[in-house]
Amino acid sequence: MQLRLRTKNGVVSVSIDPKCTVGELYEEIERKTGIEVSHQKILYGFPQRELHADRDELVESVLQSGESLTVDKLSSGTEPEKVHGVDSLAAESAFVRRKVPDDNSCLFHAISYVFRNGSVEELRYIIAETVRANPDLYTEAFLGKSNQEYSNWILLPDTWGGAIELSILSRYFQTEISVFDIQTLRLDRYGESDGYEDRVFLLYDGIHYDPIARAFPGAPREYDVTVFKVWDDEALVGAKSVAEEANRNRQYTDLASFSLLCRNCGAKLKGETGAVEHAKQTGHTNFTEA
């Protein structure tokens, strides 16, 4: 479980086992920050509210991965907590699409966003090392190229990610990755049969991935909730509503007919089939929509 911790000295990341207790979380906070928790209050959520939990409670029962916490001094004030001028009783959340760069690494940007963990380069490295370590599983027949060739290829900054990479990252983060296809509204669930308790949502428009998050009015993106329980039907409905709105607005690319330009040689290509055939013939993989 990944948590972001704000203190007077800045923001730090905390990685803990979701099965650990709140007391153990407090110990890890003290270790990471040098701040004695007993003299502080821990705030979470948005609008922020104080974490009231027994030290013996499991962290996963009160917090979600990706949550942002704030360590604040204890005060005697009695006024309701307000953040960015939003009354804690009036705030409402909504599911939204968060745009990430369109630079051939959009899948990795989206994954980094929902897990609050790993740079694009680190995520590519995780995939390459996973493939190298499992040659019997990741064969040439499965990858479409030799194990070594794929391991080098996925590290290139202009290489697109897709189903293979999503399945590997789902296993790495022990989290189901659910992807809504905007054009068809199909839901692809990577890690569905692995018994994971957590789930994140992505949106796919045919050539580009974006993360889906639960956002709060007036709050910065760092307050977004991006990890949900797989049995959270409200989150599923909310994420699907984002895909449905994008579908109504035709915010997708028709893979059968869209035009592509090869950035390596300037060739003009027709649809996904044309791009795949061009890549097989030339080894070029750097495409952009024409």
Domain enclosing residue 43, as ranges: 2-75+83-87
Residue tagged active-site, from 87, 103, 194, 233: 103
Tell me, yes or no, whether 254 lies in a domain.
no
109 catalytic residue (yes or no): no
Kindly tell me if the per-residue pLDDT of 207 is higher than 70: yes
Tell me, yes or no, whether 15 lies in a domain.
yes
State whether 46 and 189 are in the same domain: no
Tell me, yes or no, whether 253 lies in a domain.
no
CATH code (residue 139): 3.90.70.80
State whether 28 and 71 are in the same domain: yes
* Minimum mean pLDDT range among 154-168, 197-211, 258-272: 258-272
State whether 110 and 187 are in the same domain: yes
Burial class (CB in 10 A: 0-12, 13-18, 19+), 120: buried
State whether 239 and 263 are in the same domain: no
Identify which has the larger pLDDT, 222 or 143. Answer: 143
| String of DSSP letters for 116-175 | T---HHHHHHHHHHHHHH-TTTS-HHHHSS-HHHHHHHTTSTTPPP-HHHHHHHHHHHTS
State whether 49 and 16 are in the same domain: yes
How far is C-alpha 78 from the geometric centre of its chain's CA atoms? 37
State whether 276 and 207 are in the same domain: no
Kindly tell me if the per-residue pLDDT of 195 is higher than 70: yes
Residue tagged active-site, from 205, 208, 224, 278: 208
Residue tagged active-site, from 106, 205, 210, 224: 106
Give how far Cα 200 sits from Cα of 116, 153, 186, 189, 275, Å.
12, 26, 16, 10, 29
Count of CB atoms situated within 10 Å of the CB of 13: 11
Tell me, yes or no, whether 161 lies in a domain.
yes
Tokens encoding 100: 């990430």
- Predicted local distance difference test score (pLDDT) of residue 83: 35
Which residue is listed with tokens 């380069």? 121
State whether 135 and 270 are in the same domain: no
For residue 218, what pLDDT band results from cuts at 50, 70 and 90? confident
Residue tagged active-site, from 20, 84, 102, 284: 284
Residues 20-73 have pLDDT tens digits of: 998 898 888 888 888 887 777 888 775 567 888 888 989 888 888 777 788 776
103 catalytic residue (yes or no): yes
pTM score above 0.85? no
Count of CB atoms situated within 10 Å of the CB of 161: 23
